[in-house]
Chain A
Amino acid sequence: MNITNINERVKNSNIKNSLSFKLSMVFIGIAGILIVSSMIFIFIIVSKERKEYAEREAENVLISLSTSIRSDIDNYRNVSRLIAYESRVKDFLKATSRDVMQTLKLSEAARLGTLEYLNITNGVDSVFIFRNDLQYMTTHISRQDYHFDLNRMAEDDWLEPLLELKGRASLSLNGNGAIFRGDGKTVLTINRAVYDNVSQKQTGYLFMNISIGFLEDEISQLKNDDICVLTTDGVYLTGNAELAHYYEGVEIPEDIIHKEIEDEENKMILSAMKLQRLPITLLYAIKEEKRLLPMELLYIILLLPMVYFICVFLAGLFIRKNITSPVFALTNEINKNTSGDSLVKIEREFPKNEIGMIKDTYNNMVEHTNELWEKLLENEQTIQKSQMRVLQEQIKPHFLYNSLETIGYLAVDAGAEKVHSALETLGSFYRNFLSKGDREIPLKREITITKDYLSLQKLRYGDIINDEYDIAEDTEECIIPKLILQPLVENSIYHGIRMKGEKGTIKISSRLVDGDLHIIVRDTGVGMSEDQIEKVLSSEQIDTDKGDGLGGSFGLWGTIERIRCYCDKDDVVKIQSEPGEYTEIEIIINMKAKNWRMMNVQSNADR
């Protein structure tokens, strides 16, 4: 698996673990908590505030309504007083009973006097003026009939409170139970006992009936449907009749009370006010859906989550700009080092904060690592060089060659031509065998090495070895790894021909087929068993000490491994054998694939 794959995988698996992901999660969480908590907070404030606001509004409405009702009533009172002291009315009251009965003039005059006032006053339904002898005069504005309950009027609890007021006006409903309008509608009655202003004697009673129309007018002026006017006893007068249900004759102080009412139809705040010294109660309902909020509160309500949101957003931006983005950038920079030979420092500028510290630390580490690496490399090279030097010291080719030449001359001088030849071959063999530097050589030279080797071996083993060559001309310059042929020939001698004990032939041939170089070493030795072939071809590491059943063919196995390594594939050697007859080892090296190698070698040599 290559590095980018790993990176990709790490990246994927890390998305959930990444800081930015976690941070966004945290921010979303914080924003959620803030918004929810502010909602709850706002809800609490709002519901309280709304109630108070509604109550204040109700108070305002009720007070203004009561004030105007009171002023209307004061007005009617004044009118009733003016009527009571009108001269014709006074005359009517002062006259003797007989005069009144005999002539209608007195009552007619009194009616006219009354009408003069009534004509300039709205809302008065009728005026009844009773004399103490219960003769009376009525003045109707509306066309309604009125009935009197004279019995009621005779009762003490009806008369006495009137007399106790000593001429001052009081207000009652339906003449405190003695007057009934023909259509059954309730009327407000201003009652007063009338006194003679000279004699200070009580001369009669005046009842001024005011239709509740004036209340309707007052309410309609407010353009509000949620107002209801009741009597103190709970009798509906005017306004929104629905609200009257909620008034259960509760004792209402002469002040305003608020009550929250919730049933299946309505949810509202009901405010009630009893008018002082008047038998009237006002109800005002602010229904849930009509409840309003003060504007400032609305602004705050809107502002609060927005402020939260902006705060969270800014915090997010801050963290992104100062932490996550630099961390990503840093990671990218560091990732660049996953390829390449030596580590590279991060050149990019980072803010001089903790991120910058990480960068500096990383750069220091890179520097240190590179130093270590260089030191290691240097050490390695020094060791290699010293090892090489030791090897060279051991070999001392110059000394070897000069010695060979010296001995060669001695041989020539002594007429030992064979000795000279053998020394020459040995010299040639070592010259090629030890040739420094090149790990890869042309096949031609490998063949020379092998020939020299074979001719030296022939000197040792006499005539049992016969060698043949069939080298195609176009293969001579093919570049092959050095010393791959000689070990095969060595193997042929020691594990093939010599084991057989009779004369054998080693044939080396080569040919080029489709860019593949085939090198074949065939010997007529004892051959190899299937088992041996398998072992030699197995690419498993073999314990060198034991030889592990290779029967000493370790050199062959090692050579095959070397070729495999060079060609970078396993399928490079074929072995055919018939035990007791022959062994044929074929090496196949692809020349095309190895061209670049030659070029590499060339360019290395040029350097």
Chain B
Amino acid sequence: MYRVMLIDDEESARKLMRASINWEELNMEVVGEAASGIEAINVIDDMKPDIAFVDISMPFMNGIEFTELATKRYPNLIIIIMTAIDQFEYARKCVSLPVFEYMLKPIVRAEVNATLAAVKAKLDEKQVKPEEHTESENAEKIEASTIDQIKMYIEANYTDSKLNLTSVAQHFGFSASYLSRKFKQETGKNFVEYLTECRMNAAMKLAQANVKMFKASDEVGIPDPNYFGRCFKKYAGVSYSEYVALKNLKD
């Protein structure tokens, strides 16, 4: 099963995509969605998609910026750009990006199916080739001190909205999956959990200082306030505004 990720700020568009395509027939499954480029960067390491549908017009980080980042970090990822006709010219300017296909919105099932069939053929061909997954184990053993260094690195850089597991792994010269595993072993926490924890702790402090949410979200490195809001609620149990209200009540 190939893993598909849908990145589109329109929920209905994601849902339609999910519902109107017969994924199983294509030996594919939709493993996750993201409503912005920011969210996608944060969750992509968990989802490990083979294919990503990327809408161009998204707030905070648009599809082009995301694609630029993703093609560097995930060279094997197949990216299909989705665009409405009024942004097609803009998308064409980015034709140098190694994307698999540009597709026009609104989607037509026949077109999507045809494109996915081509993607599947390409992926199948790759899998036939001998596996080259020998890298990670040979890599330098990660010691506890290295994990400390990584922790420090995260604490120093969490405000960078583009930071994620893969970028850190690339920075330190490890494979992402190996780092992820080691990180969990050493710290008992997921990498993403740890990064989010850092950001949320910072956000709580900002909340205590009565900083508005959209400002706080930008300052802690999640400039998409919608995604930030979800993260905060998940972490703190209450929404950011509730948290601020509670804190004010205590005072």
Contact = CB atoms under 8 A, between A and B. Distances in A.
Nearest to A406: B12
B16 A408 contact: yes
A392 B109 CA distance: 26
Contacts of B105: 401, 405, 427, 431
Contacts of A392: 86
Contacts of A428: 106, 108
Interface in A427-446: 427-428, 431, 434-437
Nearest to B10: A402
A397 interface: yes
A153 interface: no
Given A397-B85, A397-B86, A409 B12 contact: yes
Interface string B9-36: 0101101100110000000000000000
Contacts of B57: 398
Interface string B24-64: 00000000000000000000000000000000010000000
B84 interface: yes
A401 B19 contact: no
Contacts of B15: 409, 412-413
A435 B109 CA distance: 19
Given A409-B15, A413-B19, A436-B88, 19 more contacts: A398-B57, A398-B86, A402-B10, A402-B13, A405-B10, A405-B13, A405-B106, A406-B10, A406-B13, A408-B12, A409-B19, A410-B12, A412-B16, A424-B106, A427-B107, A427-B108, A431-B104, A435-B85, A437-B89
B109 A401 contact: no
A482 interface: no
Q: Which 7 residue pairs across A and B have the least CB separation, nearest first?
A: A427-B106, A406-B12, A409-B16, A409-B12, A401-B106, A412-B19, A428-B108
Contacts of A398: 57, 84, 86-87
Contacts of B84: 397-398, 401-402
A408 B106 CA distance: 10
A409 B8 CA distance: 14
Contacts of B108: 424, 427-428
A474 B57 CA distance: 37
Contacts of A423: 106
Contacts of B16: 405-406, 408-409, 412
Contacts of B19: 409, 412-413
B26 to A, nearest CB: 18
B86 A436 contact: yes
**Chain A at the B interface: mostly helix, strand, loop or mixed?**
helix
B58 to A, nearest CB: 12
A409 B107 CA distance: 12
Nearest to A396: B86
11 contacts: A398-B57, A401-B106, A405-B107, A409-B12, A409-B16, A413-B15, A420-B20, A427-B105, A434-B85, A436-B85, A437-B89
Nearest to B57: A398
Contacts of B88: 436
Interface in B169-183: none
Interface string A400-421: 0110111011101100000010
Given A409-B12, A409-B15, A404 B106 contact: yes
Most B-side CB within 10 Å, residue of A409, A424, A434, A437: A409
A401 B83 CA distance: 10
Nearest to B104: A431
A193 to B, nearest CB: 151
Contacts of A412: 15-16, 19-20
Interface of B: 10, 12-13, 15-16, 19-20, 57, 84-89, 104-109
Nearest to B16: A409
Contacts of A431: 85, 104-106
Chain A contact patch, size range: 20 to 34
Contacts of A402: 10, 12-13, 84
A413 B16 CA distance: 9
Contacts of B89: 436-437
B31 to A, nearest CB: 19
A405 B109 contact: no
Contacts of A427: 105-108
A402 B84 CA distance: 9
Contacts of A420: 20
Most A-side CB within 10 Å, residue of B16, B20, B88: B16
Contacts of B106: 401, 404-405, 408, 423-424, 427-428, 431
Most B-side CB within 10 Å, residue of A405, A412, A437: A405
Given A427-B106, A431-B104, A408 B20 contact: yes
A73 B88 CA distance: 139
A392 to B, nearest CB: 7
A437 B108 CA distance: 22
A424 B19 CA distance: 13
A218 B61 CA distance: 140
B236 to A, nearest CB: 32
A342 to B, nearest CB: 29
Most B-side CB within 10 Å, residue of A398, A436, A437: A398
Contacts of A434: 85
Nearest to B8: A405
Nearest to A399: B84
A409 B87 CA distance: 23
Nearest to A421: B109
Most B-side CB within 10 Å, residue of A401, A410, A427: A401
A405 B103 CA distance: 15
Contacts of A437: 89
A405 B12 contact: yes
A225 to B, nearest CB: 117
Interface string A364-404: 00000000000000000000000000001000011001101
Interface string A232-244: 0000000000000
B232 to A, nearest CB: 28
B12 to A, nearest CB: 4
A107 B117 CA distance: 180
A413 B12 CA distance: 10
A431 B89 CA distance: 14
Contacts of A436: 85-86, 88-89
A194 B5 CA distance: 177
A424 B112 CA distance: 12
Nearest to A412: B19
A592 B244 CA distance: 72
A500 B108 CA distance: 34
B131 to A, nearest CB: 38
Nearest to A423: B106
A481 to B, nearest CB: 19
A93 to B, nearest CB: 158
B138 to A, nearest CB: 47
A423 B109 CA distance: 11
Contacts of B12: 402, 405-406, 408-410
Nearest to A420: B20
A420 to B, nearest CB: 7
A424 B109 contact: yes
B37 to A, nearest CB: 18
A573 B144 CA distance: 81
A427 B105 CA distance: 8
B17 to A, nearest CB: 9
Contacts of B20: 408, 412, 420
